[in-house]
């Protein structure tokens, strides 16, 4: 499978470097194509020669196409859906496609990040260009061969047809196409001509997943590799004073114990001795800064909620006037705990720091950041560091932070050996980069049966909502509006967690609007539709406003119709939540019934507007998962701190939603020809509000704090 | 360290490890069978599920010295993914990240040997010990149902 070096061709998308479209994982089982036959009888025949057409694809002399998936795969299915976009524009048979994960190559690829649900949205144009341009090069090559004008040729599924009925397969012209000028401004296909986009394509790794092939970072093996298990301070705010590793070193299979910073790494021939020996290290820790507790955070955050000393993030009209003239004011406080990410695959990373080169491989959402930090930590040039990404057993934001890739690089550099760092679940849960504890105070002024003013104040550990969020709903829907926030510094590491901020804010806001509807004596759907109607003209003139009131109305209509809103039999209670985040509009309606005096969530109906749906069946899977994850964390997710120590370290102490606790989920997409947006995050935020609002109708109890399970006896 | 001879996926395998080494790490590190996953190490998540004598067991919590029966891992469930559970998993395109799925399938395969025509409720209960952070439970349940008919 040699990459044929191509000459005389201009760089593509400012691509530097010549051969190869990315890192080739030499695994033979990749050669199954995208077909997922019941029995793997038909294996694609591999070409004898590959021709690089551009950074995204190469074509074999037999017409087989390899598409490189440049973004990290965390379960959001971009390894399938992004290549589908390329294949669509290239106009080939999906069954002749092999997908390979590209390694980090910032010269070739624009954005190798899994984050913010942006892979599809931000990749859309470049992926279409890649496919369309390649198609045109193949056409141009055939035209040259037949000595006809390229405009006279047509293409279908990898076969080029000439004006006199001649035919050439892509494989037959690939070598010539690879040397052609790269055309510019090649038109994209008409949306109505799509046949891959919008059809159900199975996960390209499906066969490998169901047969247990080594796909994940934790499965990495290399010659001479040592397994590293790291002892870190048991509490945030502690530092290492001294340690005794005599017992640890006695464990058979242990080869070394290394101190680095405030941590100690045990290196062993296998995982178990490394993990076992780590527990035998006798370390002494001392207080370095403050040992923080949740009880203190609660007091600090409540105080912050009530201080209005920061510049508002958004300030419309005259909020103070609206509140002073109000007939009635509603004021509510919503509170959330910390949350660990709990990817099913614990953090891990491989590093081999050698004289000649540095190799790093593993599950990382931000490979470029890992490389640049490693370069500083081990004092090596970035060009010397190769980073490749494995499939990831979940990301959820945790793998945006490469503390583990930093550790791996540092340990390998000290040990001068290839090492695979592995977190235990306890390491993973207690050395987290948590969703921070946040509190919201939301207030509305009501006058003449209308909402005249809205104030939202955020008090959060370490950081406040990012700049786009204040311009989400209800911005534009209420004339006098102020969104502000304060933060409380903490030594507990916090960061993005699936749908940062909105994962809790949506619950607070959408629960609050239910109370407003009740006060105004309005149906919850009607109130939202009316507010969105008010926001429509404002959203047109105010460029900052992030959501589309019309698209949200479309989602509400679809969800209400599918969920038979207001038409349920007695004993079924419905709650609605409408939330825009990560460029996608989502509405969820929960059905709750009472069983033996307990509220049980029976069903969630969901309507999503994410523009064009690339891979509908996979999109449904993602949407469903987001809702379940949202319900699970609203219901059970809970992490507190006592003197810097997290309250849970493993799944015996931390509850994730389980199979018997899920409701039926019914997913609908708003038909659309708009550019696609992402789905990894946006269906999580509305879930908490939808079930809380339905629980209220069923029980008369409002939820103000997560997890709900602490507030009352509810069952998923 | 001591020698242990295990029957894994129909092959006799001898390993040299400490007696307290969990079967999980023997499979993954000594025998290179990395399809069986590590999730918690304390029998809570099901990611490490294998069959011992046909019964679904948590390999993270069974020391190698206590393994007394033939072991089947995801790699040994079938040649090339043709076990009914694997076929059904493919038909429903169950995985998201995929990490929990080997454990899910091993639990399902053992369960379906005992219960050939399970109800929806029985399926959920049987699968309740396997966590999926991605929330693929609805598809898991559909796939188990489908597999029961294959
Ligand atoms: S790893 Fe064995 S049950 Fe979680
Ligand atoms: S598919 Fe990701 S944990 Fe189950």
Does A300 reside within a domain?
A: no
- Residue A327 in domain: no
Say what the pLDDT of residue A25 is: 29
Render A381-431 in DSSP notation, one character per residue: -GGGEEEEE-B-S--TTGGGSTHHHHHHHHHHHHHTS-EEEE--HHHHHHS
A6-20, A404-418, A620-634: lowest mean pLDDT where? A6-20
Q: d(Cα A547, Cα A587) in Å, to the nearest integer?
A: 13
- Reported as a pLDDT band with limits 50, 70 and 90, residue A11 is very low
Q: Looking at B76, B98, B133, which one is the last position of a domain?
A: B76
Residue A14 pLDDT > 80, yes or no?
A: no
Considering the domain architecture, whether residues A229 and A203 belong to the same structural domain is answered as no
pLDDT at A2 over 70: no
Gyration radius from chain B CA atoms: 15
The pLDDT value given to residue A110 = 81
Please give the share of chain A, as a percent, with pLDDT higher than 70. Answer: 93
Indicate if A123 and A201 belong to the same structural domain: yes
A133-156: per-residue pLDDT in tens? Answer: 999 999 999 999 999 999 999 999
Of A403, A430, A457, the last residue of a domain is A430
Query: What backbone torsions phi and psi does residue A537 show, to the nearest 5 degrees?
Result: -65, -35
Q: Which of A430, A447, A464 is the last residue of a domain?
A: A430
> Ligand 2, closest atom to CA B98?
1
CATH code for the domain in which residue A188 is found: 3.30.365.10
Structural domain boundaries, residue A83: 24-210
- Residues A601 and A680 reside in one and the same domain: yes
Q: Kindly report the CATH number assigned to the domain that includes residue B101.
A: 1.10.150.120
| Residue A704 located in a structural domain | yes
**Rounded average pLDDT over A503-514:** 98
- Is A218 in Cβ contact with B34 (below 8 Å)? yes
User: What per-residue confidence (pLDDT) applies to A713?
Assistant: 59
Q: What does the pLDDT average to over A477-492?
A: 97
Angstrom distances, CA of residue A199 to CA of A361, A415, A624, B93: 33, 50, 18, 14
**Which among A396, A617, A665 has CB closest to B138?**
A665
Given a cut of 70, is residue A31 above it in pLDDT?
Answer: no
Are B100 and B144 members of one domain? yes
**Averaged pLDDT of chain A:** 92
Those residues with Cβ within 8 angstroms of residue A426's Cβ, 6 or more apart along the chain or in another chain: A649, A650
- In the block, tokens 């919008």 appear at A198
Q: Is residue A478 part of a domain?
A: no
A610 vs A613: CA distance, rounded Å: 7
Q: Is there a single domain that holds both residue B62 and residue B91?
A: no
| Mean local confidence (pLDDT), A196-201 | 97
| The pLDDT of residue B143 is above 60 | yes
Proportion of chain A above pLDDT 90, given as a percent: 88
pLDDT digits 0-9 by tens, B77-96: 998 999 999 999 999 999 99
What DSSP character marks residue A662? Answer: P
Residue A657 token pair: 């939603």
- Assess contact for A484 and A431: CB atoms under 8 A: no
| Ligand 2 atom nearest to CA at B100 | 4
Sign of CA dihedral B5, B6, B7, B11: negative
- Please answer yes or no on whether B134 and A344 come within 8 Å at the CB atom: yes
- Domain carrying residue B136: 84-149
Final residue of a structural domain among B76, B107, B122: B76
Is a pLDDT exceeding 50 seen at residue A21?
no
- Average pLDDT value for residue range A172-200: 95
Q: Is residue A308 part of a domain?
A: no
pLDDT, residue A311, reads 87
Residue ranges of B 64-123 with Cβ closer than 8 A to chain A: 73-75, 77-78, 80-82, 86-87, 89-90, 93-102, 105
* Contacting residues for B26 by C-beta, under 8 A, at least 6 apart: B4, B6, B15, B17, B64
φ, ψ for residue A99, nearest 5 deg: -110, 130
Q: Is A680 a residue whose pLDDT tops 50?
A: yes
Domain end: A430, A464, A484, which one?
Answer: A430
pLDDT at residue number A22: 30
The minimal CB distance from B135 to the residues A346, A392, A629 is found for A629
Average pLDDT over every residue of A538-556: 97
Q: Are residues B61 and B95 in the same domain?
A: no
The pLDDT-based confidence of A36 (bands split at 50, 70, 90) is: very low
- In this complex, which of A221, A393, A628 lies closest to B137 when CB atoms are compared? A628
Which of A207, A272, A605 is the best mutation test for B, with the most CBs of B within 10 A?
A272
Residue B98 backbone zone (phi > 0: left; psi -120 to 50: alpha; other: beta): left
Same domain, yes or no, for A143 and A227?
no
Do residue B122 and residue B63 come from a single domain?
Answer: no
Could you tell me if B135 lies within 8 Å of chain A, comparing CB atoms?
yes
Tens digit of pLDDT for each residue in A379-396? 999 999 999 999 999 999
Spell out a b/e string for A663-684, using b for 16 or more CB atoms within 10 Å of the CB, else e: bebbbbbbebeeebbbbbbbbb
Distance A649 CA to ligand 1 centre (A): 14
Q: Do B28 and A271 touch (CB under 8 A)?
A: yes
B18/A contact by beta carbon, under 8 A: yes
Same domain, A539 and A648: yes
Same domain, A412 and A548: no
Taking only the tens place, the pLDDT of each residue in A112-124 is 988 888 888 989 9
Shared-domain flag, residues A589 and A527: yes
Find chain A residues with C-beta within 8 A of B34's C-beta: 212, 214, 218-219, 221
Give the SS3 label for residue A580: strand
Say yes or no: A43 contacts chain B, CB-CB below 8 A.
Answer: no
pLDDT in tens, A441-454: 999 999 999 999 99
Is residue A13 domain-resident?
no
Q: Reply yes or no on whether the pLDDT at A1 is more than 70.
A: no
Specify which residues A715 forms β-bridges with: A600
Q: Give A714's pLDDT tier (boundaries 50, 70, 90).
A: low
A41 — pLDDT class (breaks 50, 70, 90): very low
| Span A283-322, pLDDT tens digits | 999 999 999 999 999 999 999 998 876 789 999 999 999 9
Residues B70 and B133 in one domain: no
Q: Is residue A111 part of a domain?
A: yes
Run of H or E residues at A279: helix A271-279
Answer whether residue A6 shows pLDDT above 80. Answer: no
**Confidence label for A106 from pLDDT (cuts 50, 70 and 90):** confident
* pLDDT tier for residue A10 given thresholds of 50, 70 and 90: very low
Using the atom order of ligand 1, give the atom closest to the CA of residue B43.
3
A149 with A255, same domain?
A: no
Chain A residue numbers with beta carbons less than 8 Å from the beta carbon of B15 are: none
Last residue of a domain, one of B76, B101, B128: B76
Which residues are bridge partners to A243 per DSSP?
A: A283
pLDDT for the residue numbered A456? 97
Residue with tokens 């079924």: A572
Residues of chain B with Cβ-Cβ distance to A618 below 8 Å are 93
Q: Indicate which of B3, B50, B61, B98 best probes the interface with A, i.e. most A CBs within 10 Å of its own CB.
A: B98
Q: What is the DSSP letter of A369?
A: H
Same structural domain, B16 and B66: yes
Same domain assignment for residues A356 and A229: yes
Residue A113 CA, ligand 2 centroid: distance in Å: 20
A685 membership: H or E segment, kind and range: helix A685-699
Q: What's the number of domains chain A is made of?
A: 3
- Do residues A236 and A115 both lie within one domain? no
A620, part of any domain: yes
pLDDT at B137 over 90: yes
Q: Return residues 228-247 of A near B (CB < 8 Å).
A: none
A392 in contact with B, Cβ within 8 Å? yes
Q: Residues B114, B71: one domain?
A: no
- B71 and B133 in a single domain? The answer is no
Tell how far the Cα of A260 is from the centroid of ligand 2, in angstroms.
33
Is there a single domain that holds both residue A40 and residue A189? yes
Across the interface, whether the CB atoms of A650 and B40 are under 8 A apart is answered: yes
d(CA A709, CA A225): 45
If you average pLDDT over residues A396-420, what whole number do you get?
Answer: 97
Confidence of residue A109 (pLDDT cuts 50, 70, 90): confident
Are B47 and B110 members of one domain?
A: no
B10 and B58 inside one domain: yes
Joined tokens for residue A523: 């149906």
Residue A715's pLDDT is what?
55
Closest CA to A256 of A406, A414, A409: A414
Ligand that lies nearest to the alpha carbon of residue A651, given by its number in the listed order: 1
Are residues A61 and A175 in contact, defined by beta-carbon separation less than 8 angstroms?
A: yes
Do B12 and B64 sit in the same domain of this protein? yes
Q: What does the block give as tokens for B21?
A: 């080494």
* CATH code of the domain in which B13 resides: 3.10.20.30
A151 and A246 in a single domain? The answer is no
Alpha-carbon span A455 to A323, nearest angstrom: 9
Number of domains in chain B: 2
* A339 and B CB contact within 8 Å: no
- Residue A44, pLDDT score: 75
User: Residue A659: is its pLDDT beyond 70?
Assistant: yes
**Residues B91 and B67 both lie in one domain:** no
């Amino acid at each position: 499978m040699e990459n044929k070096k191509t000459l005389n061709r201009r760089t593509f998308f400012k691509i530097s470097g010549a051969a190869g479209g990315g890192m080739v994982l030499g695994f033979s089982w990749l050669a199954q194509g995208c077909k997922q036959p019941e029995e793997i009888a038909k294996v694609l025949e591999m070409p004898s020669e590959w021709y690089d057409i551009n950074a995204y694809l190469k074509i074999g002399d037999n017409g087989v196409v390899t598409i490189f998936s440049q973004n990290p795969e965390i379960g959001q299915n971009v390894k399938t859906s992004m290549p589908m976009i390329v294949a669509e524009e290239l106009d080939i048979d999906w069954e002749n496609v092999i997908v390979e994960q590209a390694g980090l190559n910032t010269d070739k690829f624009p954005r190798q990040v899994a984050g913010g649900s942006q892979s599809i949205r931000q990749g859309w144009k470049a992926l279409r260009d890649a496919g369309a341009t390649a198609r045109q090069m193949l056409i141009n090559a055939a035209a040259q061969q037949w000595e006809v004008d390229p405009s006279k040729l047509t293409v279908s599924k990898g076969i080029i047809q000439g004006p006199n009925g001649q035919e050439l397969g892509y494989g037959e012209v690939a070598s010539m196409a690879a040397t052609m000028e790269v055309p510019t401004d090649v038109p994209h296909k008409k949306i109505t001509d799509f046949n891959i986009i919008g059809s159900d394509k199975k996960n390209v790794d499906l066969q490998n997943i169901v047969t247990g092939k080594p796909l994940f970072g934790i499965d990495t093996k290399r010659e001479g590799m040592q397994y590293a298990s790291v002892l870190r301070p048991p509490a945030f705010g502690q530092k290492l004073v001294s340690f005794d590793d005599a017992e640890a070193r006695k464990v058979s299979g242990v080869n070394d114990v290394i101190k680095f910073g405030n941590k100690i790494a045990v290196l062993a021939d296998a995982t178990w001795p490394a993990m076992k020996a780590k527990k035998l290290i006798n370390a002494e820790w001392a207080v370095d800064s403050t040992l923080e507790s949740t009880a203190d955070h609660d007091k600090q955050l409540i105080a912050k909620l009530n201080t209005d000393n920061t510049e508002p993030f958004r300030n419309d009209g005259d909020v103070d006037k609206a509140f002073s003239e109000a007939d009635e004011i509603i004021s509510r406080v919503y509170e959330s705990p910390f949350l660990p990410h709990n990817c099913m695959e614990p953090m891990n990373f491989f590093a081999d720091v050698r004289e000649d080169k540095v190799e790093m491989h593993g599950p990382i959402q931000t490979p470029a950041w890992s490389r640049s930090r490693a370069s500083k930590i081990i004092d090596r040039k970035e060009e010397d560091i190769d980073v490749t990404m494995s499939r990831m057993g979940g990301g959820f934001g945790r793998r945006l932070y490469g503390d583990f890739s930093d550790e791996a690089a540092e340990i390998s550099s000290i040990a001068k050996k290839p090492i695979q760092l592995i977190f235990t679940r306890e390491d993973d849960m207690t050395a987290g980069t948590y969703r921070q504890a946040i509190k919201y105070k939301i207030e509305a002024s009501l006058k003449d049966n209308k909402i005249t003013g809205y104030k939202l104040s955020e008090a959060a550990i370490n950081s406040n909502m990012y700049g786009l969020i204040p311009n989400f709903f209800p911005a534009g829907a209420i004339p006098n509006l102020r969104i502000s926030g304060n933060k409380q510094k903490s030594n507990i590491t916090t960061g993005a967690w699936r749908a940062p901020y909105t994962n809790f804010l949506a619950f607070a806001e959408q629960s609050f609007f239910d109370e407003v509807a009740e006060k105004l004596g309005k149906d919850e759907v009607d109130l939202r539709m009316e507010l969105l109607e008010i926001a429509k003209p404002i959203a047109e003139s105010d460029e900052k406003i992030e959501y589309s009131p019309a698209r949200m109305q479309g989602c509400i209509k679809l969800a209400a119709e599918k969920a038979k809103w207001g038409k349920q039999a007695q004993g079924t209670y419905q709650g609605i939540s409408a939330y825009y985040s990560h460029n996608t509009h989502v509405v969820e309606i929960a059905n709750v019934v009472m069983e033996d005096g307990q509220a049980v969530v029976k069903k969630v109906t969901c309507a999503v507007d994410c523009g064009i749906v690339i891979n509908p069946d996979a999109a449904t899977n993602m949407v469903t998962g987001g809702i379940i994850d949202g319900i699970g964390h609203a219901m059970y997710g809970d992490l507190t701190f006592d003197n810097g120590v997290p309250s849970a370290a493993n799944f015996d102490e931390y509850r994730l939603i389980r199979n018997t606790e899920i409701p039926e989920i019914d997913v609908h997409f708003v038909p659309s020809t708009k550019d696609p947006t992402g789905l990894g995050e946006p269906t999580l935020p509305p879930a908490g509000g939808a079930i809380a609002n339905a629980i209220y109708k069923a029980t008369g109890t409002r939820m103000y704090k997560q997890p709900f399970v602490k507030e009352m006896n509810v069952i998923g | 360290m001591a020698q242990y001879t295990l029957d894994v996926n129909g092959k006799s395998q001898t390993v040299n490890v400490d007696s307290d080494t969990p079967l999980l790490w023997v499979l993954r590190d000594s025998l290179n069978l990395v399809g069986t996953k590590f999730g918690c190490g304390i029998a809570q998540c099901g990611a490490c599920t294998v069959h011992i004598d046909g019964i679904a067991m948590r390999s993270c919590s069974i020391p190698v010295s206590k393994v007394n029966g033939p072991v089947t891992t995801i790699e040994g469930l079938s040649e090339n993914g043709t076990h009914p559970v694997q076929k059904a998993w493919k038909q429903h395109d169950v995985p998201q990240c995929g990490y929990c799925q080997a454990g899910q399938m091993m639990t399902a395969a053992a369960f379906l040997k005992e219960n050939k025509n399970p109800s929806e409720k029985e399926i959920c209960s049987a699968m309740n010990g396997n966590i999926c952070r991605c929330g693929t439970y609805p598809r898991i349940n559909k796939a188990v149902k489908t597999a029961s008919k294959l």
